[in-house]
Structure 1
């Protein structure tokens, strides 16, 4: 096969159009993946709407990849052809993105999909998990944005390390929030407080939340309720919404010496800022040199974490129509979905 189907964003603020892309050749330490399922993310529609992150057009977007190993690059020993794997794509590197039928991945930041987990379920995992992991557990060396600097939950010395310490995850029902809840549970945090629509409360408790508060409550009420639950100082807040109201609430909740991670650029009122409370905009790409050590550590344990149920995939809703079906699905995502990940099937495009 000399080429493949791909969905292109034609220009900044432009339209998506189905076209063809070349077949890629894996280099040393790389694998070629036949993409069976790709998860859709808010970043995908945000790039089109706001013209952010991408300068080279036409562009192939998409970050969450699940499929089978098609070809091995030199030196790859962890996988064989036909293995089911998942990996995170790289924005701006079009041979490593998900809105196409084949893409390249790195051996050390990919993981086998365990038996019993579908391609669709696997495609809900990479970006949300990597975003939470880098924000919470990076060692801080050359980190982009910032880090909470915790010991990684998947490493032996990190499991249960923070037992008895309270933590807050604002907006826990999205992919990033769900990943954060599960990792923080693995770290031992308790109470683990989150905000969400109350219709999602039982599910989030299954993931590890001890308390679920109605995200629609005014910030003042949420502040009071969280203070009642958390008897010890809050030194870690994870804002998976990133709106001005959630960032300001999270910052108010932080104790002296605490750190807040947020999924959007800083929106904390400058008048509130003090030297002994940190807040930062999280950056998820584990293929960057400064994040690669953490990414390799995480993906090295990911299959086991999924097998044991320590990490669970999101609920799935399949977007029909192959690559072209991504176009209306992104509109649906832009308008808002609750506690579900939209997933497309690139191989349905012929």
Structure 2
């Protein structure tokens, strides 16, 4: 039994308007799990959307939160890659497993070892916290769905171009960098104010998604055999990406949300599940909230263990977007969710839970 005294920000009932800070679940890691003393926890759209418009069946009271950074507090019996006291980031799986110990908005969060990565001393934990869900969603679309070469510190050029729709988003920021690390040329959409930002991540060209002729511009910029990944998935973005991909003879379009209506072209569309890198397919099928998509544990290992630690240390992967830090601990999680609900650009809301030691 763990000796850690835990607290968490709970949503007590479905659609409750305010989270409540109460005693948290006692950490009890399985063999391949890591308990993280949380320094910072990032807020994602799924958090406020699950509060306002729950789209999964959850047992209440429940705890939200996907992304955490901090230090290892405890490891399961089969964990070999991490040690107590090590600085790490982790991707929490509570929305699928329904296990509140594996949620982010608490003092101690438990994560599967496959989706935990070491954080170099040069990278502040507040910045590192922006990464997990964005990276795993991008990695699922690129490697599990589109079957790109896995990321490398010294990639070999593939000769292909990929359009990342929504490059300034959290998922888009990671997708640009991972695609470049896989040897692809990247073009992306963003607001004009974020052109320099997306290019700093490795995009070769940026296109204004608000331009009336942006679809025609992008059709011209791509050729047969190139790829498209929709990291925004508003209805307009889905329609635009489907039209562009159809025009170059493409057949497979990864999206971050299911289409609300039919899309043009004879395309296979696949909503990317950001936690696929944490699970095998058989493990996913046993989960209460399995989304019916395949697992990809090899992607988790390749990205989080083989690539990310060295890429962060050498600066070949940037922890982006920048954190918008809300201080004050677990009582400020609701405030952070409201900030994100109201909309921000090229930043990610991060709650200071315990802070950097």
- Secondary structure, aligned partner of 1:68: strand
Contact 2:233 2:256 in 1 (8 A): yes
Q: Which residue of 1 aligns with 2:10?
A: 8
Cα shift readout 1:77-117 (whole Å, capped 9, x = no counterpart): 32221110111001232111110000112233211101210
- Matching residue within 232, 237, 241 for 1:246: 237
Q: Which residue of 2 aligns with 1:187?
A: 182
Q: Which residue of 2 aligns with 1:312?
A: 318
Q: Which residue of 1 aligns with 2:288?
A: none
Q: Which residue of 1 aligns with 2:202?
A: 208
Q: 2 CA distance for matches of 1:108 and 1:222? A: 39
Contact 2:151 2:303 in 1 (8 A): no
Q: Name the TM-score, length of structure 1 as normaliser.
A: 0.89
Q: Which residue of 2 aligns with 1:264?
A: 257
Shift of 1:155: 8.5
Q: Any stretches of 5+ residues in structure 1 without a counterpart?
A: 139-146
Q: 2 CA distance for matches of 1:185 and 1:80? A: 31
Contact 1:182 1:311 in 2 (8 A): yes
Contact 1:242 1:264 in 2 (8 A): yes
- Secondary structure, aligned partner of 2:354: helix
- Secondary structure, aligned partner of 1:223: helix
Q: Name the TM-score, length of structure 2 as normaliser.
A: 0.88
Q: Which residue of 1 aligns with 2:226?
A: 235
- Matching residue within 89, 106, 122 for 1:116: 122
Cα shift readout 1:232-270 (whole Å, capped 9, x = no counterpart): 225311111101111111111112243211111124535
Q: Which residue of 2 aligns with 1:226?
A: 218
Q: 2 CA distance for matches of 1:325 and 1:189? A: 40
- Secondary structure, aligned partner of 2:168: coil
Q: 2 CA distance for matches of 1:234 and 1:326? A: 44
Contact 2:243 2:265 in 1 (8 A): no
The number of residues matched between the two structures is: 330
Q: 1 CA distance for matches of 2:157 and 2:260? A: 31
Q: 2 CA distance for matches of 1:306 and 1:2? A: 30
Contact 1:329 1:342 in 2 (8 A): yes
Cα shift readout 1:265-314 (whole Å, capped 9, x = no counterpart): 124535x242xx32221111022222222212211121012122221112
Q: 2 CA distance for matches of 1:321 and 1:25? A: 27
Q: Which residue of 2 aligns with 1:297?
A: 302
User: Using a 3 Å threshold, how does the CA distance of structure 1 residues 347 and 54 change in structure 2: closer, same or farther?
Assistant: farther
Q: Which residue of 1 aligns with 2:273?
A: 283
- Matching residue within 141, 147, 150 for 2:148: 150
User: Using a 3 Å threshold, how does the CA distance of structure 1 residues 2 and 31 change in structure 2: closer, same or farther?
Assistant: closer
User: Using a 3 Å threshold, how does the CA distance of structure 1 residues 54 and 304 change in structure 2: closer, same or farther?
Assistant: farther
Q: 2 CA distance for matches of 1:128 and 1:154? A: 18
